Amino acid sequence: MEQSWRWFGPDDVVPLHAIRQAGARGVVTALHQIPYGEIWTVDAIRERQGKIGADPSLGLHWNVVESLPIHERIKLAEGDLTALFDNYRASMRNLAACGVKVICYNFMPVVDWTRTELSHALPGGGRALRFNAHEYAAFDCFMLQRPGAEAEHAAVLERARAWFAAASESAKAVLLSNIMAGLPGAFDRYDIPGLRRMLARYSEVSAAGLRENLARFLREVIPTAEEVGIRMAIHPDDPPRPMMGLPRIVSCAEDLAALTGAVPSEANGITFCTGSLGAGAHNDVPAMARQFAGRIHFVHLRNVANEPDGSFMEADHLAGDTDMVAVVEALLAEQGRRKAAGDAHWRLPFRPDHGHELLDDIGKGSFPGYSTIGRLKGLAEIRGVMTAVSQLRGLPI
């Protein structure tokens, strides 16, 4: 598996040489400065490649785009989408012309990954990301005041009410900004009125409707992907459940089966994110890795510890509820299959997904989840698992 590392570009406080020191060579990045829906030009792509390759001794290359975002109007099927589809295809062609051929994207309405706490203290002073079900319920029911929300949070409603009653205005503001922190670009961060407006735009979109909108997107872009050799890799919902009443359709095995079946092409693939899928108690993550192996084009390895009320915490990469050894074994077996079949792209790019903030990470201002030392530790642990599984099972690493 190709060891990779997410780099947010020149604004990332984690420098490129740290990637090399961590042991990765693949750089996963995106042109976050370009507004959603606009074309990524060859010049802009080359400029980023120039930065990544500026010091050849590091041996880094841009191997995966994360993400080429989907404009909200495509998710909503709102208005004439011709220009948006044309622009998306143009960006795909430009990326392929520059040799960047794996594109990660997601189809989560309005918000991306969602946590309520970005700096949860761990024994010894590390920091982790957490999702507290009662805080999220307080946000949904009492800050957003979404009609019908209380019924959905019955199990934690009393704790949510108590949290809200005791919370200062600044604690509420922190909760809002934590929930918004999952949106990586400079665009589309919402305040409460803005969120309500977005939810209203989705009021007519059911899960089935959203599924159809995704299928339409895939029908528009997969032929281009096939033509230029791009592998599209949808990222699962994080957490894998409806949020704020918004449907989510990439949350479980049935969802993955539906979307891969909607356009049955190898180019229509998956980012296998163990942390996102693992935050759903309904998901058997190693079994899903085996079931969808042929469509996995990019991998995020991370672990979560789930709690009975729906809360979860980002755990060490080899701790938590997901059997990481079993996942790695499934992925290496798939690599073996591809290699034997003569597939030039048999090696799967993967990155350690979020890490804790550890030691000198603290106070550095890295993007939530994207610390240096925490990810370096995660990558090192996974590298150990990969090496052991590969040797014991005779599978290509």
Binding residues vs ligand DNO (CB under 6 A): 66-67, 104-106, 112-113, 182, 184, 235, 273, 300, 353-354, 369
Residue in 321, 313, 322 with CA at minimum distance from that of residue 272: 322
- Respond yes or no: is residue 370 known to be catalytic: yes
**Nearer to ligand DNO (CB atom), residue 66 or residue 284:** 66
**Nearer to ligand DNO (CB atom), residue 118 or residue 175:** 118
Q: How far is the CB of 57 from ligand DNO (least distance, A)?
A: 29
Rounded Cα distance, 320 and 314, in Å: 8
**Nearer to ligand DNO (CB atom), residue 260 or residue 274:** 274
**Nearer to ligand DNO (CB atom), residue 16 or residue 233:** 233
Beta-bridged to residue 121, according to DSSP, are 127
Rounded Cα distance, 347 and 220, in Å: 27
**Nearer to ligand DNO (CB atom), residue 185 or residue 223:** 185
- Respond yes or no: is residue 235 known to be catalytic: yes
Q: Which of 71, 134, 153, 235 is catalytic?
A: 235
Long-range contacts of 9-16 (CB under 8 A, 24+ apart): 9/33, 9/48, 9/51, 10/51, 12/366, 12/367, 12/370, 13/364, 13/365, 13/366, 14/366, 14/370, 14/371, 14/372, 16/51, 16/52, 16/54, 16/55, 16/58, 16/60
Q: How far is the CB of 264 from ligand DNO (least distance, A)?
A: 22
Q: Which of 273, 316, 317, 361 is catalytic?
A: 273
Q: What are the residues whose beta carbons fall under 8 Å from the beta carbon of 292, sequence distance 6 or more?
A: 253, 256, 260, 270, 272
Rounded Cα distance, 229 and 222, in Å: 10
Q: How far is the CB of 387 from ligand DNO (least distance, A)?
A: 25
Q: Which of 112, 237, 316, 353 is catalytic?
A: 353
Q: How far is the CB of 150 from ligand DNO (least distance, A)?
A: 28
Cis previous bond, 57, omega within 30: no
- Respond yes or no: is residue 317 known to be catalytic: no
Q: How far is the CB of 341 from ligand DNO (least distance, A)?
A: 28
How distant, in Å, are the alpha carbons of 215, 272, 292, 303, 326 from that of 288? 21, 9, 6, 15, 11
Q: How far is the CB of 270 from ligand DNO (least distance, A)?
A: 12
**Nearer to ligand DNO (CB atom), residue 67 or residue 303:** 67
Q: Which of 120, 153, 317, 354 is catalytic?
A: 354
How distant, in Å, are the alpha carbons of 77, 124, 177, 327 from that of 374? 39, 14, 23, 21
3-state secondary structure 232-247: EEEECCCCCCCECCEC
Q: What are the residues whose beta carbons fall under 8 Å from the beta carbon of 277, sequence distance 6 or more?
A: 236, 240, 251, 252, 283, 285, 288
Q: What tokens appear for 143 in the block?
A: 């800050």
- Respond yes or no: is residue 360 known to be catalytic: no
Q: Which of 71, 153, 300, 317 is catalytic?
A: 300
Q: Which of 88, 105, 136, 370 is catalytic?
A: 370
Q: How far is the CB of 146 from ligand DNO (least distance, A)?
A: 22
**Nearer to ligand DNO (CB atom), residue 262 or residue 299:** 299
Q: Which amino acids are annotated catalytic?
A: 235, 273, 300, 353-354, 370
